[in-house]
A and B are shown apart, each in its own frame.
Chain A
Amino acid sequence: MSWLRFLRRSRWDDERRREMESYVDLETDDNIARGMSPDEARSAARRKLGNATLAREEVYQMNTLGFLDTTTRDLRYGLRVLLRQPGFALVAVLSLALGVGANTAIFQLIDTVRLRTLPVEAPEHLVRVSVNAGDTGRTGRFNSSYSHVTNAIYERTRDRQQSFSSLAAWGPATFDLATSGESRPAQGLWISGNFFSTLGVTPLAGTLIGPDHDTAACGQAVATISHAFWQGEFAGAADVVGRTIRLDGHAFVVGGITPPSFFGVDVGRQFDVALPLCAERQVTGTPLHALNSNDWWWLATIGRLKPGVSLAQAGAELKALSAQIFAETTPEGYTTGDAENYRKFVLEPLPIQTGFSTLRGQYGTPLTLLLSLAGLVLLIACGNLANLMLARASAREQEMAVRLAIGASRWRLVRQLMSESLIIAAVGAALGAWIAHNLSGLLVSFLSTERRPLMLDLAINWRVLGFTTGLAVLTCLLFGLVPAMRATQTAPIIVMRGGRGITDGRNRFTLRRALVIGQLAVSLVLLVGALLFTRTFWNLAHADVGFTTEGVVAMDFDLRRSQIPPEAEPAFHQLLLERVRAIPGIAGASAVSITPMSGSGWNQSIVIDGKVQEGYPNVNQVSGNFFGLLDIPLKSGRTFDERDVLGAARSVVVNESFVARYLPGVEPIGRTFHFEGRQDRPVTPLHIIGVAADTKYSDIRQDMGPIAYMAYSQDPNPGRSFTAVVRATQPGLSLAQAAVATAAQVHGDMLVVTTPLQQPIIDGLARERLMAMLSGFFGTLAVLLAAIGLYGVMSYMVAQRRQEIGIRMALGAGRGRVLSLVLREALVLVVIGVAAGTGLAILAGRSAATLLFGLTPTDPVTLVASVAGLGLIGAVASAFPAWRAARVEPTTALRRG
């Protein structure tokens, strides 16, 4: 049987009809020739032909795919039934669409962040080489989250290994496109010469950076730009190859453009411009730079295994190479202990087919958790649909009974009822996919911050499509199958005899009640989750950092191209600070080495009385007015003043935690300590002159710990960047323009970025904000759906028991009694649901423990509030049906029954 025939079966039918008419005509002609009258001739011809309809039917059946045909008919019938009650269809489709949409959107994010492989050739063979530092950890300078190796380690590994056909290195960087005034950052990549050839990336235009560009001499300064940057910065200009761009003030020629699909190897970040590793020396521009510093961790590796080489084999080889490589590259300035640890490090290969990503660690658990929350919402929505379907099924009991009685098979009826569910599920899923498409983009924009824009390619792929289809089928089965089975299980005779069968009794009602209890329980879990995450966000957003952030900005001045000789830096910094202090409308300004709460930090182990102390206290360098400016109370002693100048004894202010931890029970003022330093440098004693109140340091999630503040004015090498925290006289005053003007006034070749102190704190809460918003949304939706479910079941119950209620009232039951009868029924459901939900919530809470701040998963206030809230909503949802029950007029109820 061919599909073509199936699709053209009505045409065939028509053909046969004409053919048989032609037979009748011919036979009539013959009959007339035999001498019959025309009428007689025709009817004789028809007799001869026999049952033409039967013949046509036979042909039609031949052209039909039986199953498909009945399915089409079922779907058509289902659609008609649904359209007869558009309200029901709309509610069903919408609640499913919301559920499916939320699930798909979150799955799409998970897919992009965790499952999708890099858009390069054969990503499954990509492997990175990392340093396994054991428990000791690595010491030195780190550039990013991808600072896996130093250049020395990379070069030696690359040259000696035999397991990879090629081993490339890369490191993230930020290059400034501006040459003066306000900073304009570009997302950069340092890449080894074999980077693009290792990945198999081919240029869209021009030539990409190759081994010729990454040599010791470094030759011509070439950059490779991304398709996105080409479009954004050059508006897609055709002649961009060969043009010059300035990165951190250095000129580079654009050599080529990467194809649109290649975003780099860091999932979530779109690179703008890539430079060869060798150019790092030139761009950094200091005698000590990443390329020649053995303790500067700034690169990640990515290599391609040779065909036939397994990860284990590569691991064995790297392990064998490790001892010599680390012995050769031990940094000179390391302490004996650090050097000893370093020589024990081992190189190991790790698969990296899905690319590098900090997002994965940061959002892996939250997204999985959100997916389960969304799944629960969908489950509740399915519960409502199942309930509605059950109610409809009992309304159509008569119809089903009649059809069973005249010989329809039960399977046939179930299939027909299921086709209705299938339509709802299919339309819901299609709508859900559309919602997801819009929602996922919105989610990404919530996670994106100005300084670290998040770029994710959210194209629909087979995995996402499969997920949505799977959801549709699953939900369809969930809410459709049981009601369909139920509707067709009643023996026809019972329904036909009495009109109302046993299915209206306890049996079906138990199922509906169980559904509602399940919904209430699950919605309580979601409600608890919503409260936990919302309160976590609130706690973090209102966490006391120990100082004022409102109206305070950090101005970062980039002095790298200002050509200030190192010995003139302290004076220059001082000059710059004075100029900043002269900006009108500010309450004050303090120089800082580390901007508080910006995420960056500086910690060092200390030595007191010749003994190396446990832990690493945080360190900062500030001006004397820092404490007053940010409202950090000085507990004792003094702050820095004109006595603390370059060359004088080094003064230090410590905080209370520092004293409690390192100098318990002694008078701290006047005590000295020093940093545990390199062996080849003399130690500088630090004299404690004051004690300040505790504050947070870099991360809002961390507790207040020991901090040592040194005098900024006493730093002999303040370096090539200057940061001042500036407090405006009134909050809301923009100081960015003033900062740019100040920079221009002091030096022409200086860049400045102004960031509110609160900005990194807010940006850092993106994850918590997302969790709070989505779990809040899901929780609200869940409670709403459960309330609708409860309302539905109670209304149904009241409607079914109208007669009984009428009799009760006729026998003297008061309205109050009827009211309490119904409310008691509802109360039982709510109590069981809430009790089960509380248990579930406590169990489920454990998986969220690491994502919470300032409260535990079993936080009693949250639990009590959730239980009370759900109980209240349950009461409201059942109040209306109860009220309606109490309004039953005994006479009408009895008459109708």
Chain B
Amino acid sequence: MGKAIDLMPGTLDLLILQTLVLGPAHGHTIAHAIGRQSDDVLQVEHGSLYPALHRLEDRKWIASFWGTSENNRRARYYRLTPAGRKQLTRETTRWDTLVTAVNRILKPAAGSGT
């Protein structure tokens, strides 16, 4: 766990939306998916996921329903709404722009040069 880093503010929303592109999932799955897909680099405190889910649902980017999990437990499932899909595209573009810009500053040599 030594190499785990905390999330930048605002990025959790993006990650949740991205996770849900693959299909509906409940909080437990989402938390583990974020950890797993980032090779455990990104550590989400699992409890803090829930306020984020609540906020996204409040903005109508995701919708929720109670369903039954793989091992027959009641769980609240979340799925992406069309608005959420659009938001994901927007956020991803913004993220890419941000990363490119920050990289340009951090590694000027790799850029177009003088």
Q: Chain A nearest CB: distance from B14 CB in Å?
A: 19
Contact between A54 and B26, CB atoms less than 8 A apart: no
**Can you name 11 A-B residue pairings with CB atoms under 8 Å?**
A19-B50, A20-B50, A23-B75, A26-B73, A50-B46, A54-B47, A55-B48, A59-B50, A59-B51, A62-B55, A62-B58
Q: Which chain B residues (44-77) contact chain A, with CB distance < 8 Å? A: 45-48, 50-51, 54-55, 58, 69, 71, 73-76
Say whether A19 contacts B27, CB under 8 Å: yes
> Known contacts being A26-B73, A55-B50, is A5 close to B28, with CB within 8 Å?
no
CB-nearest residue of chain B to A25:
B73
Instruction: Check if B51 sits within 8 Å of A51, measured CB to CB.
Output: no
A438 at the interface (CB under 8 A from B): no
Q: Is the CB of A58 within 8 A of B51?
A: yes
| B89 shortest CB reach to chain A, Å | 25
Closest-CB distance, B43 to chain A (whole angstroms): 11
- Give every chain B residue within 8 A of A587 (Cβ-Cβ): none
A59 touches B54 (CB 8 A): yes
Find out whether the CB atom of A22 lies under 8 angstroms from the CB atom of B75. yes
Q: List the B side residues contacting A1 at CB < 8 Å.
A: 58
Band of interface residues on B: 10 to 19
- Residues on the B chain within 8 Å of A22, using CB: 26-28, 69, 73-76
Report Cα–Cα, A246/B46, bound state, in Å: 92
Contact A52 B54 (CB under 8 A): no
Kindly provide the distance from the CB of B98 to the nearest chain A CB, expressed in whole angstroms. Answer: 26
| Residues on B with beta carbons closer than 8 Å to the beta carbon of A25 | 73
Q: A49 to B46, alpha carbons, bound, how many Å? A: 5
Q: A58 CA to B45 CA in the complex, in Å?
A: 14
State the CA gap A342–B51 with chains docked (Å). Answer: 88
Residues of A within 8 A of B26 (CB): 22-23, 26
B1 CB to nearest chain A CB (Å): 12
Among the listed A12, A29, A51, A62, which residue makes an inter-chain contact with B47, where contact means beta carbons less than 8 Å apart? A51
B69 touches A26 (CB 8 A): yes
Which residues on A sit within 8 Å (CB–CB) of B54? Answer: 12, 16, 59, 62
From A2, A5, A55, residue with most partner B Cβ within 10 Å: A55
Q: Are A50 and B50 in contact (CB under 8 A)?
A: no
- Measured between alpha carbons, how far is A704 from B47 in the docked complex, in Å? 97
Instruction: Say yes or no for A27: interface residue by CB 8 A criterion.
Output: yes
A48 within 8 A of B: yes
Chain A residues 13-35 with CB under 8 Å of chain B are 15-16, 18-20, 22-23, 25-27, 29
Cα distance A608–B71 when bound, in Å?
125
Q: Which residues of B contact A23 (CB under 8 A)?
A: 26-28, 31, 46, 75
Chain A residues, Cβ within 8 Å of B71 = 26, 29
Q: Which of B16-51 contact A (CB under 8 A)?
A: 26-28, 31, 45-48, 50-51
Given A22-B75, A23-B27: A5 and B47 interface contact (C-beta under 8 Å): no
Given contacts A19-B50, A49-B46, A58-B51, list 6 more A-B pairs with CB under 8 A. A22-B76, A26-B73, A26-B75, A50-B46, A55-B51, A58-B48
Q: How many residues of A contact B (CB 8 A)?
A: 26
Residues on B with C-beta less than 8 A from A51 are 47
Q: Assess the A5–B58 pair: CB atoms within 8 A.
A: yes
A441 to B71, CA, bound (A): 74
Tell whether, in the assembled complex, residue A29 and residue B73 are in contact, meaning their CB atoms are under 8 Å apart.
yes
Question: Complex: how many Å from CA A26 to CA B77?
Answer: 13
Report how far A54 CA is from B28 CA in the complex, Å: 18
Q: Most chain-B Cβ atoms within 10 A of its Cβ — which of A1, A26, A52? A: A26
> Judging by beta carbons under 8 Å apart, are A26 and B51 in contact?
no
B47 touching A55, Cβ below 8 Å: yes
Binding site for B on A (CB under 8 A): 1-2, 5, 12, 15-16, 18-20, 22-23, 25-27, 29, 48-52, 54-56, 58-59, 62
How far apart are A273's CB and chain B's nearest CB, in angstroms? 65
For B73, the closest partner residue in chain A by CB is A25
Q: Assess the A50–B45 pair: CB atoms within 8 A.
A: yes
Find the A residue at minimum CB distance from B45: A50
What is the CA–CA distance of A455 and B1 in the complex, to the nearest angstrom?
Answer: 87
Name the B residues within 8 Å of A20 (CB-CB): 27, 47, 50
Closest 3 CB pairs of A and B: A50-B47, A58-B51, A26-B28
Specify which chain A residues have a CB less than 8 angstroms from the CB of B47 in the assembled complex.
20, 49-52, 54-55
**A57 to nearest B CB, angstroms?**
9
Roughly how many angstroms separate A62 CA and B28 CA in the complex, as a whole number?
A: 22
Q: Using CB atoms, name the residue of chain A closest to B27.
A: A23
Contact B76–A48 (Cβ < 8 Å): no
Report chain B residues within 8 Å CB of A59: 50-51, 54
Q: Known contacts A23-B27, A26-B26, A48-B46: does B73 contact A62 (CB below 8 Å)? A: no
Q: Within the assembled complex, what's the spacing in Å between the Cα atoms of A59 and B50?
A: 8
Q: In the complex, which residue of chain B has the Cβ closest to the Cβ of A2?
A: B58
Closest Cβ–Cβ distance, residue B33 to chain A (whole Å): 13
Q: Which residues of A contact B50 (CB under 8 A)?
A: 16, 19-20, 55-56, 59
Across the interface, name the chain A residue whose C-beta is closest to B47: A50
Q: Which residues of B contact A52 (CB under 8 A)?
A: 47
In angstroms, Cα B71 to Cα A840, docked, is: 87
Residues of B contacting A49 in the complex (Cβ-Cβ under 8 angstroms): 46-47
CA distance A50 to B28 in the complex (A): 13
> Residue of A at shortest CB range from B54?
A59
> Of all chain A residues, which has the CB nearest B51?
A58
Q: Please, which residue of chain A has its CB at the minimum distance from the CB of B55? A: A62
Most buried by A among B26, B28, B74: B28
Most buried by A among B27, B46, B71, B76: B46
| List of B residues within 8 angstroms of A56 by Cβ | 50
Chain A residues whose CB sits within 8 angstroms of the CB of B55 once the complex forms: 62
Chain A: which residue is nearest B71 at the CB level? A29
- The distance in angstroms between the C-alpha atoms of A56 and B31, with both chains bound, is 17
Give A19 to B46 CA distance when docked, in angstroms: 12
Give chain A residues whose Cβ lies under 8 Å from the Cβ of B75: 19, 22-23, 26
Q: Within the assembled complex, what's the spacing in Å between the Cα atoms of A26 and B76? A: 12
B48 cross-chain contacts in A, Cβ below 8 A: 50, 55, 58
Give the distance to chain B from A15, nearest Cβ to Cβ, in Å. 8
Kindly provide the distance from the CB of A55 to the nearest chain B CB, expressed in whole angstroms: 4
Inter-chain CA distance A62–B56, complex, in Å, is 12
A27 touches B28 (CB 8 A): yes
In the complex, A58→B54 CA distance in Å? 10
Closest to B30 in A: A23
Name which residue of chain B comes closest to A54, CB basis: B47
Q: Do the beta carbons of A62 and B51 come within 8 Å of each other?
A: yes
Minimal beta-carbon separation of B19 from chain A (angstroms): 15
Measured between beta carbons, the chain B residues less than 8 angstroms from A26 are 26, 28, 69, 71, 73, 75
User: How many Å lie between the Cα of A20 and that of B45 in the bound state?
Assistant: 13
Alpha-carbon distance between A625 and B51 when the two chains are bound, in angstroms: 103
> B73 — which chain A residues lie within 8 A by C-beta?
22, 25-26, 29
**Shortest distance between the CB of A434 and any CB in chain B (Å):** 43
CA distance A51 to B27 in the complex (A): 15
| Bound complex: CA A415 to CA B85 (Å) | 45
What is the minimal beta-carbon distance from A14 to any residue of chain B, in angstroms? 12
The answer for the CA separation of A39 and B27 in the assembled complex, in Å, is: 22
Q: How far is the CA of A52 from the CA of B50 in the complex (A)?
A: 9
Chain A residues whose CB sits within 8 angstroms of the CB of B69 once the complex forms? 22, 26
Name the residue in B47, B58, B74, B76 with the highest tally of chain A Cβ atoms < 10 Å from its Cβ. Answer: B47
The residues of B that contact A16 with a CB separation of less than 8 Å are 50, 54
Distance of A188 from chain B, by nearest CB (Å): 68
Tell me which residues across on chain A come within 8 A of B27, comparing CB atoms.
Answer: 19-20, 22-23
Question: Could you tell me the distance between the alpha carbons of A876 and B99 in the complex, rounded to whole angstroms?
Answer: 85
In the bound complex, CA of A62 to CA of B50 (Å): 12
Task: Kindly state the separation between the CA atoms of A1 and B55 in the bound complex, as whole angstroms.
Answer: 10
Whole-angstrom distance between the alpha carbons of A12 and B53 in the complex? 13
Give the shortest distance, in Å, between A675 (CB) and chain B (any CB): 93
Could you tell me the distance between the alpha carbons of A62 and B27 in the complex, rounded to whole angstroms? 19
A434 to B22, alpha carbons, bound, how many Å? 64
By a CB distance below 8 angstroms, the chain A residues around B58 are: 1-2, 5, 62
Alpha-carbon distance between A12 and B31 when the two chains are bound, in angstroms: 21
